[in-house]
Amino acid sequence: MRFYRSHRQPISGTHRLAVELVFGILSGVLQVAGYLYYANKARKRELEPNSTSWIMWGYGTSLLLVIELDSGATAAMLILPTACALSSIAVGFICWQHNTLRWPKETWERTSLYTDLMLTAMYAGTWVLLGTSLLSDTQKEAADIAILVLVNLSTFVTFIPMLINTWREPRNENPWPWTVWTAAYLALGLTTVSSPEWKWYLLMYPVECMLLHAAVAWISRRHVLADAQRIEVQQPMKRVIAGPSRINGRGVFAGEDINAGERIRHVEGTIISHINTSKEESLSNPDWIGIGHNRWIDPAGTFKFLNHSCGPNVGAVTIAADTMVIIAMKDIEKGDELTLDYSTTECDPHWEMACTCGSVRCRKIVRSIFTLPIEQYEGYLPYVPKYFQAVYERENANKRIDGSVTPPLCEERKAGASTPRSSG
């Protein structure tokens, strides 16, 4: 994301000047295009930017833009660093709007931030020293190289949180803007070599950035490749209809007889990456169904009305990346209401919902999956999403002697109350 151009002598030769200008403009245009796409995805919560990396890119690229202006860079060469600085701040603002802008909580994130602050202070101090009369011409050239080395070290450090986070959760990022940014830094490298005064060490920055952006693109692309290998879900499967429910409002009903174990339909809708940060926010999305770590489906159509029951007749499974299928857990006759135990797709430790579903197994208060009695949980298997199976097994393995539960897998989603959906 960062850019540093060492002080150069005036370019000679109209042709080389034109080539440098074309590649410079191309790198800036690609950079802007990638940011517009990325910001749109972030605004729609279709990806989850790593706020630590974006914080570092925000202050770092802004400082480097000032250094570039001071060095007398041309307007064409300033397009890319200007795009980086303004867009990094814009993405940080989006994180703040979505309440995901936070102080680094993991050791490796804090270490990256502190290291980058130190490196930034070092090259900023060297730049200030360049503006004094304390250095000879030879020392100034050495200081230029020192700044370049420090900037490249800083750039690598800022990418560490992004790379680790994307490796853990590839769906938090989208490969396409990172691919575009890779091309932008390739163009920047061509801009550099187009100058008659270029030196080999000036390629350090564009080559490093090209490789780092390509790495994020490759890592985040893993989920796209997984989607291409997904199990095909034939549509339509079973006929379902929406209608008045005795449980709550409207519900989903079988339009035909369905045998136990049969797939009914896969849940269609918008995939959302989201972290609830307040009771009000968690109450504002009553229809979302959890499919993984901070990932949800906002159902479209009939399944918006799928009600809860403590004695459900359907379960939900994820058969591929972001693909959830509703499956009959028992024989269902035409006209029966389909019901799901909401606990099987919820892991917020603070979430609870009053229940009057009328089932003989009614728990009265419905909470997250790790609070299910073991016999009830095992009775639902295998019709529980894999992620929530892992949560249940992890949480129950960590029960304290006093019976309370520590929820490490879900700690990022702590809120006053969670999504009530259609209460039973």
Q: What percent of the chain has pLDDT over 70?
A: 78
* pLDDT tens column, 245-292: 888 888 999 999 999 989 898 888 877 777 766 656 665 666 788 887
Q: What are the pLDDT digits (tens) for 67-116? A: 878 776 666 667 777 888 888 888 878 777 766 666 777 788 889 999 99
Residues 282 and 141 in one domain: no
Whether 11 has a pLDDT exceeding 70, the answer reads no
Question: Is 417 or 126 the better-scoring residue by pLDDT?
Answer: 126
Bigger pLDDT: 171 vs 210: 210
Q: Around Cβ 305, how many Cβ atoms within 10 Å?
A: 24
Could you tell me which of 99, 20, 89 has the C-alpha nearest to residue 282? Answer: 99
> Of the candidates 227, 251, 273, which is a domain's last residue?
227
38: Cβ–Cβ under 8 A, 6 or more apart, which residues?
47, 87, 91, 174, 177
Closest CA to 86 of 118, 54, 113: 54
**pLDDT for 1:** 41
Residues 245 and 209 in one domain: no
Cis peptide before 349 (omega within 30 of 0): no
Residues 199 and 71 in one domain: yes
Question: Residue 317: which of 375, 365, 224, 383 has the closest Cα?
Answer: 383
**Domain count for the chain:** 2
Task: Give the predicted TM-score (pTM) of the model.
Answer: 0.56
Cβ distance 119 to 153 under 8 Å?
Answer: yes
Strand segments, DSSP code E, in 130-255 are 240-244, 250-254
pLDDT value, residue 284: 64
Given a cut of 60, whether residue 406 has pLDDT beyond it is no
* 165 lies in the same domain as 49: yes
Tokens of 398: 């960590």
pLDDT at 240 over 50: yes
For residue 418, is pLDDT > 60?
Answer: no
Condensed to tens digits (0 to 9), the pLDDT of residues 123-171 reads: 889 888 888 888 888 888 888 888 888 988 999 999 999 998 888 777 6
Count of residues making up the chain: 424
Residue 358 lies in a domain: yes
Is residue 179 domain-shared with residue 212, that is, in the same domain?
yes
CA-to-CA separations, 247 to 180, 272, 355, 422, in angstroms, rounded: 50, 27, 9, 9
Instruction: Give me the domain span that covers residue 355.
Output: 240-413
Domain end marker among 193, 227, 261:
227
For residues 195 and 69, which has the higher predicted lDDT (pLDDT)? 69
Say yes or no to pLDDT of 337 above 90.
yes
CATH number of the domain at 299, please: 2.170.270.10
Local confidence band at 235 (pLDDT 50, 70, 90 cut-offs): very low
Average pLDDT, the chain: 78
Q: In what order do the strands lie in the sheet with 323-328?
A: 263-266, 323-328, 314-320
